[in-house]
């Protein structure tokens, strides 16, 4: 089996080795294993963060029955989703520079050396496709630019699994290369070092001769040097003639990521709001000083506006008993004021002051048991977000309100007039607006 996988395949005729397939077609010494390894580690961290925070978002919205999210800390989802979008955006320069660095490998010669090599190259396809796809669709989605025909959330979710899976395989494949190129003791970890340089490179340069002579492992040496393909490994690359050094490339890439973070994170981090120049939202811009995601003005939702303003509006809570309140009665209920962030799945979040009755008081009035899950329903007739499920941790939290007011004024239609759910640590899509009924499940 191992032999079959690693057996050397015949090379294609050299006559077809032209253009980018030529030896030395990519002369920049920045096409380098150390650069690729360091950027790979950075991307492993950012994509890992995106994946984990993405899973948090997914399972907050679609919790399996056994999973009960806590309602504290109030800022948990704010942090995870803000981190998700910011880290994703900061990955743009990391990914592009990394792909540029390894681009010569696309034109590697011979294109395949063995079955194992062919399989490894094959897993690069979902890795690159998935990575670019996640960043591109994410960027388009937060700008609400829907040029694709698929449903963003579902597709982004499945492609995340594809991307992260391909990334883990890739890490396994590159473990030795990374170890030989990163860390203080990297030079000791160069597997088999009898040969001095990749054939296409001239020796000499800053770290020129640090390669250690010695115990070579025959075939292993050859394979590892070949694995380097047409990438340099810095140990033998000549310094670039007056352009960016490896260090300079790292500084530029890091600066790009930092500029992106600083000019976008303000949509979630209050202290950075003044520098929020290039994010799709500003936490203080919107009706009543707060951004909005879903409005009641679209054609489909127009009837929500009518229903919400209907003088016959009633808020009902249905448990063992059914209770109902008209607007005047709703406003006469004991009111509480809470300061809670609203956090959109799209990554922005903003603090606001809400007032209105506590959800748990309504549940008590309807004789809904403390350990019960309820459904909060909107006046919307259709749509994936017309209702949301509230499990006991959130339903019973004293901070959870059916808010009738925002920032010391009555709630506007934009924000869910006559009443909306506002609970701690919960994605904005589940903070149901235009609420008219709460039912025991």
Partner 1 sequence: MSGDSDAGAGAGAGLSVGGFALRVVLVAAGLAALGYGVDGLLTMPRATRPSNATAWLIGGIVVHDALLVPGTMLVGFALSRLVRAPYRAVVQGALIVSGAVALMSLPLWRGYGGSVDNPSVNPLPYGRNLAIVLGAVWAGAALLMISRAVRVRRTGRRGDSADG
Residues 123-152 contacting ligand HEM, CB under 6 A: 134-135, 138-139, 141-142
Q: Pick one of 21, 41, 52, 116: the residue that binds partner 1 (CB under 8 A).
A: 116
How, if at all, do strands 435-440 and 401-403 pair? unpaired
Q: Pick one of 345, 362, 402, 438: the residue that binds ligand HEM (CB under 6 A).
A: 345
Q: Tell me which stretch binds partner 1 (CB under 8 A): 37-45, 68-76, 282-290, 329-337.
A: 282-290
Over the window 286 to 325, marking each residue x when it contacts partner 1 by CB under 8 A and - when it does not, the resulting string is xx--xxxx-x-xx---------------------------
How many residues of this chain interact with partner 1, rule: CB under 8 A?
109
Question: Which positions from 85 through 114 interact with ligand HEM, judged by CB under 6 A?
Answer: 85, 88-89
Q: Pick one of 53, 71, 81, 253: the residue that binds partner 1 (CB under 8 A).
A: 253
84 near ligand HEM, judged by CB under 6 A: yes
Interaction partner, residue 122 (partner 1, ligand HEM, none; CB < 5-8 Å by kind): none
Interaction partner, residue 253 (partner 1, ligand HEM, none; CB < 5-8 Å by kind): partner 1
185 near partner 1, judged by CB under 8 A: no
Question: Which positions from 223 through 242 interact with partner 1, judged by CB under 8 A?
Answer: 223-224, 227, 239-242
Q: Pick one of 21, 41, 55, 440: the residue that binds ligand HEM (CB under 6 A).
A: 55
Tell me whether residue 152 or residue 336 sits nearer to partner 1 (CB atom).
Answer: 152
Interaction partner, residue 96 (ligand HEM, partner 1, none; CB < 5-8 Å by kind): partner 1
Question: Which positions from 30 through 49 interact with ligand HEM, judged by CB under 6 A?
Answer: 47
Question: Which positions from 346 through 375 interact with partner 1, judged by CB under 8 A?
Answer: none
Q: Pick one of 50, 79, 269, 413: the residue that binds ligand HEM (CB under 6 A).
A: 50
99 near partner 1, judged by CB under 8 A: yes
Q: Tell me which stretch binds partner 1 (CB under 8 A): 169-177, 310-318, 321-329, 417-425.
A: 169-177
346 near ligand HEM, judged by CB under 6 A: yes
Q: Pick one of 51, 69, 75, 107: the residue that binds ligand HEM (CB under 6 A).
A: 51
114 near partner 1, judged by CB under 8 A: yes
Integer Cα distance of 152 and 137 in angstroms: 7
Integer Cα distance of 90 and 417 in angstroms: 37
61 near ligand HEM, judged by CB under 6 A: yes
The length of the chain in residues reads 441
């Amino acid at each position: 089996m191992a032999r079959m996988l690693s057996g050397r395949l015949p090379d294609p005729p050299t006559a077809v080795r032209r253009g980018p397939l030529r030896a030395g077609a990519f002369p920049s010494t920045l096409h380098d294993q150390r650069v690729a390894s360091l950027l790979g580690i950075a991307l492993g961290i950012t994509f890992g963060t995106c994946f984990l925070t993405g899973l948090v978002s997914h399972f907050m919205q679609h919790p399996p029955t056994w999973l009960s999210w806590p309602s504290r800390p109030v800022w948990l989802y704010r942090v995870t989703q803000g981190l998700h979008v910011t880290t994703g955006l900061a990955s743009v320069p990391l990914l592009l520079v990394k792909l540029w660095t390894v681009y010569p490998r696309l034109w590697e010669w011979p294109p395949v050396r063995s079955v194992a090599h062919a399989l490894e190259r094959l897993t690069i396809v979902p890795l690159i496709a998935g990575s670019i796809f996640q960043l591109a669709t994410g960027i388009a989605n937060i700008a609400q630019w829907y040029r694709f025909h698929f449903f963003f959330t579902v597709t982004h979710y499945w492609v995340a699994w594809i991307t992260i899976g391909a990334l883990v395989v890739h890490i396994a494949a590159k473990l030795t290369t990374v170890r030989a190129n990163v860390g203080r003791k990297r030079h000791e970890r160069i597997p088999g070092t009898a040969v001095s340089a990749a054939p296409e490179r001239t020796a000499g340069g800053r770290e020129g001769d640090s390669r250690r002579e010695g115990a070579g492992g025959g075939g292993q040496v050859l394979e590892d040097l070949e694995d380097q393909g047409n990438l340099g490994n810095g140990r033998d690359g000549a310094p670039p003639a007056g352009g960016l050094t490896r260090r300079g490339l790292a500084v530029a890439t890091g600066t790009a990521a930092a500029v992106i973070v600083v000019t976008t994170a303000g949509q979630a981090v209050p202290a950075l709001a003044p520098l929020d120049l290039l994010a799709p939202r500003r936490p203080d811009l919107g009706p009543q000083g707060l951004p909005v995601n879903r409005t009641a003005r679209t054609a489909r939702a127009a009837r929500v506006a009518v229903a919400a303003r209907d003088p016959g509006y009633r808020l009902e809570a249905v448990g063992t008993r059914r209770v109902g309140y008209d607007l005047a009665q709703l406003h006469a209920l004991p009111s509480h004021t809470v300061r809670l962030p609203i956090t959109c799945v799209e990554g922005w979040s903003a603090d606001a002051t809400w007032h209105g009755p506590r959800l748990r008081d309504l549940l008590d009035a309807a004789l809904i048991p403390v350990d019960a899950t309820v459904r909060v329903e909107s006046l919307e007739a259709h749509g994936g977000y017309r209702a949301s499920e509230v499990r006991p941790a959130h339903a019973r939290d004293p901070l959870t309100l059916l808010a009738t007011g925002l920032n010391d004024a009555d709630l506007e239609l934009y924000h869910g007039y006559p009443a909306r759910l506002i609970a701690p640590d919960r994605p904005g899509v589940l903070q149901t607006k235009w609420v008219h009924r709460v039912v025991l499940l």
